[in-house]
Structure 1
Amino acid sequence: MRPELRRCRMAEGCMMALRYGMVFFNLLFWLGGCGILGVGVWLSVTQGNFATLSSSLPSLSAANLLIAVGTIIMVIGCLGCVGAVKESRPLLLTFFILLLLIFFLEILSIMLFFIYQDEIDHYAQRDLKKGLHLFGTEGNVGLTNAWMIVQTDFRCCGVTNHTDWFEVYNATRVPDSCCLEYSDNCGLDNPGTWWTAPCYERVKDWLNENLVALWIFALCTALMQILGLVFSMAMFCQAVKVETFYA
């Protein structure tokens, strides 16, 4: 067998292996996006009244975030899958650039979070306290429900202290969701019957308790993205070599 023919068959074999690997990876990527999008739509339909706790970012709800992330993942996965099947260099290169951009943005976000952690804490607490003044007001059903659920589930009251609510009501009073035992107008009772733990610290403690799971999820996500980058660039380079060989 001539060396040129042998190299040609090896190149075709490599291209086929890369194509199958790329299609399999992007199929998983696309299915993951479908799952995230489905959960987001389900939350939006069934939990439509549950919104963000932030007053400055009212659209930043869990449902909207999941829908946006799921849609982006589906589009990128579909782009990579079509590029692999058709061996399209423009699609493969576009997939690589988009995935690389997302990967760098994630790294940048993590770095900025750790660098400005104190500033982020201060801003978040200030924004949440500002949102307390919208509790129970017209047009803020989502924010009201969100605070009721958080305070009930985490057994806490207020952002940094239960006294945060005193400024909202201009009285020694808290929402009924702050009560140790819920009942109508229990927020008007003795402070000894209320939760006193700050919700901000309770949520941070919960995140710290689940930090290992969060890091495992982040590392798995990064590994999938790196594999996608490697597969797409390897297939792109192999496509260039094959085209050059037949030219």
Structure 2
Amino acid sequence: MEVVAPSLARLEEFFIVLLIIFFMELILVILFFVYRTEVAEYARGDLKLGLRLYESEGNIGLTNAWNIIQTEEYSRGCGEVNPSKWFVQGCYDTIETLLEKQTAVIGSIMMSIVVIQILGMAFSMTLFHQISRTGKKYKA
């Protein structure tokens, strides 16, 4: 029975792809934190534009999205006679508050992804060196 192992070229390619993805993610995170204010203002402006286009012709998807965001339970005349059911805080502020509360969870998920990527790169390079040291040729 013939032993089939990954070729050295494939292991190198796997490592390079993981490294490129890792650096792209790292650059994205750094840019996000450097330009956080600009990103927040862009998001706020985009939400305001969405409200201006609400119920305009050809924007049924946008209108439906805003309807879903603004209602928890839809009922006829909801909030017309009972102002206590009105949302006091805007959508953007609500999402921003939610993200701030979930910072630890988001950070933990990001760190887990980073660890998995680093382990994948380390394992691929370890396997690459083990195969190249033996000098054996394998069919891929």
TM-score (norm 1): 0.48
Structure 1 distance, partners of 2:65, 2:18, is 34
Higher relative contact order (CA 8 A, sep 6+): 2
Structure 2 residue 111 is matched with structure 1 residue 211: no
Structure 2 residue 87 is matched with structure 1 residue 195: yes
Structure 1 distance, partners of 2:128, 2:59, is 50
Q: Is the 8 A contact 1:92 1:232 kept in 2?
A: yes
Match of 2:11 among 73, 92, 113: 92
Match of 1:129 among 48, 51, 56: 48
Q: Is the 8 A contact 1:135 1:143 kept in 2?
A: yes
TM-score (norm 2): 0.80
How many pairs does the alignment contain? Answer: 133
Counterpart of 2:87 in 1: which secondary structure? coil
Counterpart of 1:111, as a letter, is I
Q: How does 1:222-233 map to 2 (within 5 A)?
A: 222-233=114-125
Structure 2 distance, partners of 1:227, 1:138, is 51
- Which residue does 2:63 correspond to in 1? 144
Counterpart of 2:128, as a letter, is F
Structure 1 distance, partners of 2:83, 2:135, is 77
Q: Is the 8 A contact 1:87 1:239 kept in 2?
A: no
Structure 2 distance, partners of 1:95, 1:113, is 27
Structure 1 distance, partners of 2:82, 2:56, is 24
Alignment RMSD, CA only? Answer: 2.6
Counterpart of 1:141, as a letter, is I
Structure 1 pair 122/191, CA: closer, same or farther in 2 (3 Å)? farther
Structure 1 pair 210/133, CA: closer, same or farther in 2 (3 Å)? same
- Which residue does 1:183 correspond to in 2? 76
1:83-141 alpha-carbon deviations (Å, 9 max, x no partner): xx632111111111111111111111111111111111111111111122332334433
Q: How does 1:1-247 map to 2 (within 5 A)?
A: 86-153=5-72, 182-184=75-77, 189=80, 192=83, 194-243=86-135
- Which residue does 1:18 correspond to in 2? none
Structure 1 distance, partners of 2:31, 2:117, is 20
Structure 2 stretches lacking a partner, 5+ long: none
% same residue:
39
Structure 2 distance, partners of 1:191, 1:115, is 43
Counterpart of 1:86 in 2: which secondary structure? coil
Counterpart of 2:118, as a letter, is I
Following superposition, the deviation at residue 152 of structure 1 comes to 2.4
Structure 1 stretches lacking a partner, 5+ long: 1-84, 154-176
